[in-house]
Amino acid sequence: MSAIREYTTDEVAAHNARDDLWVTINGKVYDVTKYVRDHPGGPDVLIDVAGADATEAYEDVGHSEDADEILEAFLIGTLKDARERTRPKAVRLIQPATPSPPVSSTKTKSSVRSAALATVSAGSVVLSLYFSCRSYSTLPASWPSFTGVQTSLGSLIRSPQTPFAFGGFYTGFAAATAISSAIGGIVGSKLSQMTQIKSGFTQYPPHVKRRRIVRSNPHLAKGFLDPKEYKSLPLIRKDTLSPSVFKFVFQLPNPQDVVGLPIGQHVAIRANVNGTMVSRSYTPTSNNLDKGVLELVIKCYPDGLLTGQHLANLEVGDMIQLRGPKGAMKYTKGICTKIGMIAGGTGITPMYQLIRAICEDATDLTSISLIYANRTEEDILLRRELDAFAQRYPQNLKIWYMLDHPSQDWPFGKGYVTPEIMKERLPSSSPDTKIMLCGPPGMVNASKKALVSMGFQAPGAVAKMSDQVFCF
């Protein structure tokens, strides 16, 4: 590759028209004239920064890896005396939480034992005095009479045959200690049970575990694709769906392999076209239920660098390079109950992927309302498959076709997708509703404005799963 040229700021500024548009990003100069028409955000976004430094605008939007790859195809040089722009790092302070001191069960038990021992000691002294006085007949008359104790132990203490008859006080102390120990042990045990705080798993009754069968989602299974590295696949079939639309079928290495693509995501195809490495992204119409193959429906524009000059000329046996999965959307059952879709032309491919996954899942009750716009009836892609799903699963899918040039007996809509058509054919705004858009930039931008006027939340510059209006 020849040495890259260096341009001055004035040289770049001279190319500031729609049909001659240069920009600089991070010190590199790009000629994006041929990309103005295809820019997802519309041509006005590029025209606003024509001939100027677009670094801040480009980074603030947060372009994806796909955009970075596309941009590299238009690189023509570097900017002289360019300054590197660094983004300040955000500083976040984290306050450590102060843990509360745990309650010690050992301390509680010790307190209970101490109380019990104090009870034993006090009882021993009192009973010792009692029995000592009784043995010498000096017990005051005002003291209470413990008949049972006096009869059984008192006689024992005064009996000549009793070995402990000497010294009434010591004998009484020994007897009192035995009695108090027994009483204190019982009292201490009961108090310990009453004051013990149950915690952790000990407070719950034992539970018998039952074996549960968990079925994995086949659409989340990993497969052939690699998100970081390009891999090659051979073309085994190429069907012409219309004069410029083809269905490409590529073969995976093994018959039981899956592509490994979550529903709603896409792949990037890369090719060397006339010495320039070009990359574009496409959504397969196949999924992980189709083992051994990867299917893509692509419209090949005559002036398209990748589609017109490369993909349109592919023959059976030729290899392509692709990687993935990529994209912000990863559909799973339950993210919403109603989905409204607006698609134009080949923008039907990501919609078809979702439609197929929802209809083929007997447990997915999500309701889909699709508005699909094309120029003529012959341009409607995947119509046979879409109509079959709508007929078989009417509770899941309702379709309204729109044509620019319909026949006289056309039973559906005519013209542009207007706000009135959206209100009539799409679900209204609610927390459980999502709208998905994919098609020409003009149609997508007009649809966004209309949906916002209908009460939907405007999407951000970068698509996120949480967006109420999601743009593929």
What is the pLDDT, as a whole number, of residue 314?
95
Residue 90 lies in a domain: no
What is the pLDDT, as a whole number, of residue 53?
86
Residue 288 vs residue 71, higher pLDDT: 288
Q: Is 78 annotated as a binding residue?
A: no
Beta bridge partners of 375: none
Active site residue: 7, 130, 282, 401, which one? 282
**Catalytic residue list contains 301:** no
**Catalytic residue list contains 438:** yes
Q: What is the pLDDT of residues 372-399, one digit of tens each?
A: 999 999 999 999 999 999 999 999 999 9
Average pLDDT over residues 3-27: 87
> Which of 79, 104, 119 is a domain's end point?
79
From the CB of residue 250, how many other CB atoms can be counted at a distance below 10 Å?
Answer: 23
Q: Is 130 annotated as a binding residue?
A: no
Same domain, 322 and 390: no
What is the pLDDT, as a whole number, of residue 137?
45
Is the confidence at residue 284, as pLDDT, over 70? yes
> Which of 286, 304, 326 is a domain's end point?
326
Banded model confidence at residue 193, pLDDT cuts 50, 70, 90: low
Same domain, 347 and 466: yes
Active site residue: 24, 55, 177, 283, which one? 283
What is the pLDDT, as a whole number, of residue 166?
44
> Distance between CA 117 and CA 111 in Å, rounded?
10
Same domain, 289 and 411: no
Banded model confidence at residue 242, pLDDT cuts 50, 70, 90: confident
Domain that holds residue 73: 5-79
Torsions phi, psi for 220 (to 5 deg): -105, 0
Is the confidence at residue 201, as pLDDT, over 90? no
Q: DSSP letters along 99-154, please?
A: PPPPPPHHHHHHHHHHHHHHHHHHHHHHHHHHHHHHHTT---TTSPP-HHHIIIII
Report the chain's mean pLDDT, rounded to a whole number.
79
Q: What is the pLDDT of residues 306-348, one digit of tens each?
A: 999 999 999 999 999 999 998 888 898 989 999 999 999 999 9
What is the pLDDT, as a whole number, of residue 148?
46
Same domain, 349 and 273: no
Is the confidence at residue 66, as pLDDT, over 70? no
Is the confidence at residue 142, as pLDDT, over 80? no
Considering its fold, how many domains does the chain have in total? 3
Residue 217 vs residue 286, higher pLDDT: 286
Q: Considering only 3-12, 396-405, 430-439, which range has the smallest mean pLDDT?
A: 3-12
Same domain, 228 and 346: no
**Catalytic residue list contains 15:** no
Residue 391 lies in a domain: yes
Q: Is 349 annotated as a binding residue?
A: yes
List the one residue out of 303, 279, 285 whose CA is nearest residue 249. Answer: 285
Is the confidence at residue 233, as pLDDT, over 90? yes
Q: What is the pLDDT of residues 86-125, one digit of tens each?
A: 554 544 555 555 555 554 444 444 554 555 555 545 555 5
Is the confidence at residue 157, as pLDDT, over 50? no
Active site residue: 300, 359, 438, 471, which one? 438
Residue 160 vs residue 231, higher pLDDT: 231
> Which of 44, 79, 114 is a domain's end point?
79
Sheet holding 319-326, edge to edge: 276-282, 266-273, 319-326, 231-242, 245-251, 293-299
Same domain, 418 and 321: no
Average pLDDT over residues 46-72: 75
**Catalytic residue list contains 55:** no
Is the confidence at residue 416, as pLDDT, over 50? yes
